[in-house]
């Protein structure tokens, strides 16, 4: 049985106009990402990786070409349609956590379910379950300012997982963390992948990309390399 394609990019271009200049952010991108893959997208500043992340996350649309997410052509969707796809299909994890400061961890995690029309009782139950999965069962009533950086990122990861999305898309997820906490967060992504999730990490750090099983390198808006990581940095599930 062949692997299921989650993401398919075909002849994809993204141009921006800045003044009189046309910026060619992505050029002729062809890409397949399969269900339960663990992928790192790498590149220096200006390589196109942030543009790639925005398109994969349905935050932006291509200038030319097509993007299929779970078989749906999202490349021509309007803003309302994209918002619906984002909420159902994509779980975002950002470098800066993006938590609501006045909400508890539980309320932050439950927030995407409000937009999905889930009842309050079910929202709170599902949010509690994913917080337990990321090791924060004893922090559900805490607000972001009562949590460490690593704990805040765990809340953000739980929020990304709560809607059971097709992909977890993480943008520099360890950028604001120290090295020890970074390892803990990458261990958590490994656990999430082993639970059957498709994980895509956008990073400029070789060490972080080394946890992924496939590494895609961008330069000047083009895919320069797309290789299987022969020796990913495995982290044992029960490692402490």
Per-residue pLDDT tens over the stretch 55-112: 999 999 999 999 999 999 999 899 999 998 998 899 999 988 899 999 999 999 999 9
Average pLDDT over residues 33-48: 94
The domain segmentation of the chain, as residue ranges, is 37-63+78-228
How does residue 237 score in pLDDT terms, banded at 50, 70 and 90? very low
Sign of CA dihedral 58, 61, 67, 71: positive
Q: What are phi and psi of 206, to 5 degrees?
A: -60, -40
CA 94 – CA 119 distance, rounded (Å): 26
Q: pLDDT at position 2, please?
A: 58
Euclidean distance between CA atoms 37 and 48, whole angstroms: 21
Contacts of 79 (CB under 8 A, 6+ apart): none
Q: What is the mean pLDDT of residues 111-127?
A: 92
Q: What is the mean pLDDT of the chain?
A: 92
Q: What is the CATH number of domain 37-63+78-228?
A: 3.40.50.300
The tokens describing 213, both together, are 């099983």
Q: 3 pLDDT exceeds 90?
A: no
Question: Can you give the pLDDT at residue 69?
Answer: 95
Structure tokens at 85: 């796809």
> Confidence class of residue 116 from pLDDT cuts 50, 70 and 90?
confident
Two structure tokens written together for 203? 């990073």
**Rounded to the nearest 5 degrees, what angle is found at the Cα of 197, between the Cα atoms of 191 and 202?**
85
């Amino acid at each position: 049985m062949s692997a299921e394609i989650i993401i398919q990019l075909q002849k994809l271009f993204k141009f921006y106009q800045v003044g009189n200049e046309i910026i060619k952010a992505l050029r002729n991108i062809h890409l397949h990402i399969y269900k339960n893959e663990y992928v790192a997208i790498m590149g220096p500043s200006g390589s196109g990786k942030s543009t790639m992340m925005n398109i994969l996350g349905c935050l932006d649309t291509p200038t030319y070409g097509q993007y299929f997410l779970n078989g749906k052509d999202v490349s021509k969707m309007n803003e309302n349609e994209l918002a619906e796809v984002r909420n159902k299909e994509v779980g975002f994890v950002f470098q800066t956590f993006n938590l609501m400061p006045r909400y508890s961890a539980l309320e932050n995690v439950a927030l995407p379910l409000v937009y999905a029309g889930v009842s309050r009782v079910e929202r709170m139950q599902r949010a509690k379950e994913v917080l337990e999965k990321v090791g924060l069962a004893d922090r559900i009533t805490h607000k972001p300012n009562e949590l460490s950086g690593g704990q805040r990122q765990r809340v953000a990861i739980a929020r990304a997982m709560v809607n059971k999305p097709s992909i977890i898309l993480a943008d520099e997820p360890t950028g604001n963390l120290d090295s020890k906490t970074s390892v803990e967060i990458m261990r958590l992504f490994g656990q999430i992948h082993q639970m059957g999730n498709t994980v895509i990490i956008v990073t400029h750090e070789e060490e972080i990309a080394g946890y992924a099983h496939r590494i895609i390198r961008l330069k000047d808006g083009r895919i320069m390399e797309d290789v299987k990581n022969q020796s990913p940095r495995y982290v044992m599930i029960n490692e402490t």
